[in-house]
Amino acid sequence: MKKRWRHAGLYALLAVVLIAIGTATIPSQQGNGNTPLPMRYSDFIEAVESDQVARVAITSDQRTAQVVENDNSRAVVNLAPDRQLLPLLTSHGVDISVLPEARPPVWQSALLSLALPLLLLGGLFFLLRRSQAGGGNQAMNFGRSKARVQMEPQSQVTFADVAGIESAKLELTEVVDFLKNPDRFTAVGARIPKGVLLVGPPGTGKTLLAKAVAGEAGTPFFSISGSEFVEMFVGVGASRVRDLFEQAKKNAPCIVFIDEIDAVGRQRGAGMGGGNDEREQTLNQLLTEMDGFEGNTGIIIVAATNRPDVLDAALMRPGRFDRQVVVDRPDYQGRLQILGVHARGKTMSKDIDLQKIARRTPGYTGADLANLLNEAAILAARRQLNEISMDEVNDAIERILAGPEKKDRVMSERRKRLVAYHESGHALVGALMPDYDPVQKISIIPRSQAGGLTFFTPSEERMESGLYSRAYLENQMAVALGGRVAEEIVYGEDEVTTGASNDLQQVTRVARQMITRFGMSDRLGPVALGRQQGGMFLGRDIAAERDFSEDTAAVIDEEVKDLVAVAYRRATDVVNRNRAVLDELAELLVERETVDAEELQTLLLERDVRTAEYL
C-alpha cells in the first residue's frame, strides 16, 4: 500500500500542471450565447453595399470580424487584406468597433508561467527519491569506497588452482592460517604481518593469488584497485581510504586487497615542483590508516604491483608492508604444473607433450602459458581440427614470439635467397659456437617486420639465475653478426642490405653493457660506469649526470668497438671455414622455407664442420 501511494503527491502535481496548460491553450469565446454563423467575404461585401449590415466588430489582429445585420442576425467573417474595406463601411453608415485582445485570467497566466519550473522540480524530486530507493544518492557518494566485498568465500579459486609459485603460496598460506587459527601464532608471541606486498612481473599470478586467499580464508574480503582511490575532486581519494578502513574495522578480522597499488603509492614529492596533489593526500591517508596513531588490529592488507621501485619508502617500511612476496616467473616444474592447469577443458591429441612445451618456454609467465594454449586451440579450430596437436602448439609459440606468418607476401627469388643466406649465417654461427643456446628452428617465412627468423632455445639455468658468462655474451654478439657476415661473404660488401639493423643494435647494446655495467673491460677494470636513469615523476633523478670523464668515455667507445670487432672476426672465421655447409643450408631453406633442429643437426653431422675459436 505504501508503494502504491509513494509518488501520489508527485502525480497530483503533474496533473495540476497539465490541466493548467490545457486550460490556458483553450481559446475563450465571446458573445451573447448565440453561436455566430460563418459568412463568405464576398457575401459580406454585398451585404454592406446593400445596406443590410448594422454593426461590425473587428478583432485587434484584423483577421476576423463579427457582423450584426439589420435583422439582428449574427455572423463571423474572415477578413481579406483589403484597404478599401474601412472606407466602404464608413460610406454605408456601418457602426465599426474593435474587440479588445482576448487574455486568459490572471491566475491562469501565473500558473502557466510556473508550469515549467514545477515540472523540473517535480522531475528532480522523483529522481532523488528513486536513487535513494535504489541504494543511495550517487551524487553524494563520491567519498564512499568502491571496494567489492565478499562476506563469505564465494570465489571458486583456491590454492589448488594456483600452480608454479609454491614459495608465494606458502607465504600467503600463513596469512590464511592466522585468520583461521590465530591462537597457534599468538601462543608463541608471533604477530601476523599487517601488510603483504606481492611483487613480480605482469602475468605471474599476483591477482590470482589474492583470489585464492579470498577462497581459502573464510573471512570478509575487500578488493579494490589503486586507481579507484584517485578522482578529479579534491579530497575524494582520502575520503575513500577512510571509508574503506571503516568498513574493514566493522568486519575485522578481514583481508583488504589493493591491486596495482603503484597507482596511488608512488613516491611523494616526485613532481616538478614537489607538490601536494590529490594522489599524495590519498597516500598520506593510506599510510595513516595502515599504521597510524590508532592502528588497525585484525586488518591484513594484501597489495600487488609490478613496479616496487616507484613505491614510497614510508609505505614499504615494517609496520605497513612487513613482508614482500616475490611472485617470479615459474621454473620448469612450475611451467609444467601451470600447463597442466590450463590444459583442463581442452581436447589434446596423444602427441601433446607438456614436458616438451615446458622446456621450450623458459621465461614464460602463467598468463603467457594460458595464452599459448588458447592460441593453439584457436589455430586448431581455424584448421577445422577436433583436437590440439603439437603442430598447433609450435605454431602458437612462433606466433607469440614473432607474430603471424605472412605467406601471402610475394618475395622475389633474389630476395628469398638473400634472406636464406642471412638466416643460415645466424644458425650456422650459433650451432658452432661453444656453450651457446641450441638452434630450435630456421624460417624464411616473413613475420611482422622480419623477413625471416632463427629461433634459439634459451638455457633454463641461465634464465633462472640471470647469470651470463663473458664467453656467452661474446658468443651472442658473434651469432647476431652471423647474418651480416654471410651477406658480405656471398654477395660482397657493396650488396649488403639493411636487414641487419636490429642485429647491430643488439651487438652494440651487449658490448656497452659488458664495459659499463658488468666490469668486463681489461683497460677499465671491474667498475660500473654511468647511472641508471629513472623516469621523470618516479622519484628519481630527472637528469642523471654522467659520472665519468671525457677520457673515460673515449676509452669506453674504444672498448666497445674492440669487442664488436672480435665478434665480427669470429663470425667471419666460422662462415668462411664452413662455406659449403652455409650454401647447402641456404638451398635447403629456399626449397622448404623452414628447417627444424633435427634437420640442422643431421646436416652438421654429415658434413665436416669446424667450430669457432676464441680470438
Domains of the chain: 7-21+35-119 (3.30.720.210), 148-324 (3.40.50.300), 330-400 (1.10.8.60), 411-604 (1.20.58.760)
**Quick one: pLDDT at residue 243?**
82
Pairing of strands 254-259, 439-443: unpaired
Mean pLDDT lowest for which of 13-22, 132-141, 243-252, 427-436?
A: 132-141
Higher pLDDT among residues 540 and 306, named by residue: 306
Decide if pLDDT at 369 tops 60: yes
When pLDDT is cut at 50, 70 and 90, the band that residue 139 belongs to is very low
Higher pLDDT among residues 276 and 261, named by residue: 261
Decide if pLDDT at 128 tops 80: no
Residue 13 C-alpha cell reads as 502535481
pLDDT digits (tens, 9 = 90+) for 97-114: 887 766 666 666 666 666
**Quick one: pLDDT at residue 176?**
82
Binding residues, as ranges, are 200-207, 422, 426, 503
φ and ψ of 456, to 5 deg: -115, 150
On whether the CB atoms of residues 376 and 396 are closer than 8 A, the answer is yes
**Quick one: pLDDT at residue 375?**
92
The average pLDDT across 198-215 equals 85
| Cβ count near 612 (within 10 Å) | 22
**Quick one: pLDDT at residue 478?**
93
When pLDDT is cut at 50, 70 and 90, the band that residue 400 belongs to is confident
The average pLDDT across 117-142 equals 59
Higher pLDDT among residues 423 and 541, named by residue: 423
Residue type, 524: L
Highest mean pLDDT among 10-19, 186-195, 286-295: 186-195
Binding residues for ATP, as ranges, are 200-207
- pTM of the model as a whole: 0.66
On whether the CB atoms of residues 566 and 615 are closer than 8 A, the answer is yes
Residue 369 C-alpha cell reads as 602459458
Instruction: Identify the helix (H) or strand (E) that includes residue 199.
Output: strand 195-199
When pLDDT is cut at 50, 70 and 90, the band that residue 410 belongs to is low
When pLDDT is cut at 50, 70 and 90, the band that residue 233 belongs to is low
**Quick one: pLDDT at residue 398?**
83
Instruction: Identify the helix (H) or strand (E) that includes residue 555.
Output: helix 550-577
**Quick one: pLDDT at residue 274?**
43
Q: Which residues contact 274 (CB under 8 A, 6 or more apart)?
A: none
Q: Which residues contact 338 (CB under 8 A, 6 or more apart)?
A: 163, 164, 330, 366, 369, 370
When pLDDT is cut at 50, 70 and 90, the band that residue 544 belongs to is very low
Highest mean pLDDT among 232-241, 318-327, 387-396, 409-418: 387-396
Q: What is the mean pLDDT of the chain?
A: 79
Decide if pLDDT at 538 tops 60: no
Instruction: Identify the helix (H) or strand (E) that includes residue 207.
Output: helix 206-217
The average pLDDT across 225-248 equals 75
% pLDDT > 70, the chain: 79
The average pLDDT across 546-563 equals 88
**Quick one: pLDDT at residue 80?**
78
Highest mean pLDDT among 142-156, 481-495, 520-534: 481-495
Residue 246 designated active-site: no
| Separation of alpha carbons 58 and 544, rounded Å | 93
Binding residues for Zn(2+), as ranges, are 422, 426, 503
Beta bridge partners of 453: 443
Mean pLDDT lowest for which of 27-31, 295-299, 602-606?
A: 27-31
**Quick one: pLDDT at residue 268?**
78
Q: Which long-range contacts (CB under 8 A, 24 or more apart) does 173-180 make?
A: 173/216, 175/213, 175/217, 175/255, 175/300, 175/302, 176/213, 176/216, 176/217, 179/217, 179/218, 179/219, 179/253, 179/255, 179/300, 180/217, 180/218
Q: Which of 502, 400, 504 is nearest to 450 (CA)?
A: 502
**Quick one: pLDDT at residue 275?**
45
When pLDDT is cut at 50, 70 and 90, the band that residue 388 belongs to is very high
φ and ψ of 216, to 5 deg: -95, -30
**Quick one: pLDDT at residue 541?**
43
Highest mean pLDDT among 135-149, 161-175, 283-297: 161-175
Decide if pLDDT at 258 tops 50: yes
Q: Which of 335, 374, 340 is nearest to 358 (CA)?
A: 335
pLDDT digits (tens, 9 = 90+) for 558-572: 999 999 999 999 999
Q: State the alpha helices, DSSP H only, in 278-353.
A: 278-291, 313-316, 332-342
Q: Of 423, 474, 487, 559, which residue is the catalytic one?
A: 423
Higher pLDDT among residues 478 and 106, named by residue: 478
pLDDT digits (tens, 9 = 90+) for 302-352: 898 988 888 888 888 888 888 888 888 888 888 998 998 888 888 899 889
**Quick one: pLDDT at residue 29?**
45
**Quick one: pLDDT at residue 99?**
79
